[in-house]
């Protein structure tokens, strides 16, 4: 068959003869009254012209997808086909409904095998997104079921279709087209003898659906990250530290960043005055600055209209030493996070202990996670955060050698892939004389992505120059994550075998 032109467009009443002829061929057997009356098509075009789509090959209508907009409660109810079309009157159509309901789709048998059905469904999906509808729902026939009905229940038949032991021309196509099975419907379509009067309610979810669009303070789809690669240097006093920190906050907010992120223990230069003490005593003296630093960063977050992740600093709680940081939001609020996994060095020289709270944080840019350095080497933490809806994971770190940095970097990149999220890391660079246990630093800030077509081939969105004081400004696209979850080459979060293993918090 030679084809010169294929067109996807909206149905017009002048198409009726071609539409009818193709329907008669498509539904030659198995269905009573296998075509729409002309007055019914005219009524559809009057109430919802955008929802009626046809495939035209060389000026001949060879397929169509016909739809209504209905209330979600109607679409998900235990209904029959005529409950939706109401004898061709289409009384269920509601322009203010939430769901695009497919009332028919077909391809002339002479034109099957050309993937024209997929074009129709892609057109439906695009329409669903453009109209901001929650989902596409319809009931699919199971035309091969009559061959197995003596040996298999409808549920057993569907299980074998899903595992590809049996091919069903309708359900197999829909499952491969990202529709999922909601329920079985009995006596759905009168006269559907091949399906033994059963049908399967199927749904495709619109991941771009916005339940309550607002004009201001909407959740951003593009979030700008400002990572601060901090140079360790001697500081004379706390105000000099604040001047340096404010310089960077001013710089990244000047580029309209949504987050400013500092490294782990970037406050360490303030320990120089206590270098005559033991390491454990010196860091406890440093912890006395923490409340003051938190309050100042809260003020800076408001002043510069930016969310600040304060890296980390020592914190004494009932004389127990923790490694903590603060999320200072631009609305003036602040939340603490604690490093959970403590390195042997931190435990030996400073007597630090690990925190016991695994949490995510709600921000005006979506839900984020924050873990400190060594924590990124334990995949359970970020997986639990991902299960809680985390889209961006921030990892402030401090590593003295390239070996340590490589562990952090490699694990951070793995966390981005396995949790289908962005991971932003930043650390300290340079040398710090006259502060015991903080002599040298190695660092390179970076933002990592999942590994799929919508993202960089190497999974690296951007990275700074190693061992140089600088900022890294990076935009991340949150909608790309939504598409990855539903349409990615692999779907790691969805394909986990939760029937074999599960991960949960103990506290």
Catalytic residue among 328, 373, 421, 428: 373
Q: How far apart are CA 402 and CA 443, in angstroms?
A: 8
The tokens for 396 are: 């402030």
- How far is the C-alpha of 299 from the C-alpha of 29, rounded, in Å? 74
User: Mapping DSSP to helix (H, G, I), strand (E, B) and coil, where does residue 272 land?
Assistant: helix
Reading the block at residue 267, the tokens are 């406050």
Half-sphere exposure of 300 (CA within 13 A, CB side): 28
Burial state string for 392-428 with b = 16 or more CB within 10 A and e = fewer than 16: bbbbbbbbbeeebbebbbebbbbbbbbbbbbbbbbbb
As a whole number of angstroms, the distance between CA 124 and CA 137 comes to 11
- Which residue of the set 98, 279, 328, 339 is catalytic? 339
Q: Which 8-state DSSP code applies to residue 184?
A: E
Helices (H), 287-339: 290-303
What span, in angstroms and rounded, lies between the C-alpha atoms of 115 and 167?
17
CA quadruple 102, 106, 112, 116: dihedral, nearest 10: -50
Residue where the block lists tokens 């075998």: 497
Token couple for 168? 């069903």
Determine the Cα–Cα distance for residues 266 and 311; give it in Å rounded to an integer.
7
Cα separations (Å) of 362 from 157, 219, 481?
A: 44, 11, 17
Is 339 one of the catalytic residues? yes
Q: Of the residues 98, 203, 264, 391, which is catalytic?
A: 264
Q: Give ∠ CA 148-154-158 in degrees, rounded to 5.
A: 90
Cα gap 243→306, rounded to integer Å: 17
Active site residue 246: no
3-state helix, strand, coil in the chain (%, to 5): 35, 25, 40
For 493, the 3-state DSSP assignment is coil
Q: Which residue has the tokens 């907009």?
A: 69
Q: Is 421 a catalytic residue?
A: no
- Catalytic amino acids? 264, 339, 373
């Amino acid at each position: 068959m030679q084809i010169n032109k294929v067109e996807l467009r909206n149905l017009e009443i002048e198409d009726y003869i071609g539409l009818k002829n193709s329907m008669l061929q498509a539904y030659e057997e198995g269905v009573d009254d296998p075509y729409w009356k002309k007055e019914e098509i005219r009524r559809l075009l009057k109430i919802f012209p955008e929802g009626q789509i046809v495939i035209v090959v060389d000026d001949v209508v060879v397929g169509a997808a016909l739809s209504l907009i209905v209330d979600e409660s109607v679409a998900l109810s235990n209904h029959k086909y005529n409950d939706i079309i109401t004898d061709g009157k289409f009384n269920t159509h509601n322009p203010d409904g939430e769901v695009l309901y497919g009332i028919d789709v077909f391809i002339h048998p002479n034109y099957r095998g050309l993937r024209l059905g997929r074009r129709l469904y892609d057109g439906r999906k695009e329409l669903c997104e453009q109209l901001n509808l929650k989902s596409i729902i319809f009931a699919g026939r199971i035309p091969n079921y009559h061959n197995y009905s003596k040996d298999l229940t409808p549920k057993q038949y569907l299980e074998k279709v899903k595992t590809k032991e049996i091919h069903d021309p309708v359900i197999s196509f829909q499952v491969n087209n990202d529709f999922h099975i909601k329920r079985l419907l009995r006596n759905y379509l009168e006269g559907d003898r091949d399906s033994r009067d059963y049908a399967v309610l199927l749904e495709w979810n619109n991941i771009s659906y916005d339940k309550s669009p607002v004009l201001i303070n909407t959740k951003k789809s593009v979030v700008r990250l400002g990572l601060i690669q901090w140079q360790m240097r001697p500081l004379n006093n706390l105000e000099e530290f604040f001047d340096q920190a404010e310089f960077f906050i001013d710089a990244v907010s000047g580029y309209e960043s949504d987050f400013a992120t500092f490294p782990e223990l970037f406050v360490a230069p303030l320990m120089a005055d206590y270098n005559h003490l033991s390491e454990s005593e010196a860091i406890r003296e440093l912890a006395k600055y923490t409340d003051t630093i938190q309050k100042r960063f809260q003020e800076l977050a408001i002043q510069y209209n930016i969310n600040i992740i304060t890296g980390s600093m020592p914190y004494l709680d009932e004389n127990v030493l923790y490694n903590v940081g603060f999320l200072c939001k631009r609305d003036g609020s602040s939340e603490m996070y604690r490093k959970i996994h403590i390195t042997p060095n931190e435990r030996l020289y400073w007597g630090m202990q690990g925190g016991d709270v695994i949490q995510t944080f709600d921000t005006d840019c979506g839900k984020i996670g924050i873990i400190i350095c060594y924590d990124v080497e334990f995949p359970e933490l970020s997986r639990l955060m991902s299960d809680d809806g985390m889209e961006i994971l921030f990892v402030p770190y401090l590593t003295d050698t390239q070996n340590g940095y490589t562990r952090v970097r490699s694990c951070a990149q793995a966390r981005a892939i396995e949790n289908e999220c962005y991971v932003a890391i930043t650390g300290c660079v340079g040398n710090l004389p006259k502060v015991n246990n903080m002599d040298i630093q190695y660092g390179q800030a970076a933002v990592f992505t999942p590994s799929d077509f919508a993202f960089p081939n190497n999974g690296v969105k951007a990275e700074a120059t190693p061992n140089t004081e600088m900022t890294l400004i990076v935009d991340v696209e949150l909608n790309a994550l939504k598409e990855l979850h539903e349409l990615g080459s692999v779907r790691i979060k969805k394909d986990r075998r939760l029937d074999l293993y599960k991960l949960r918090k103990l506290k």
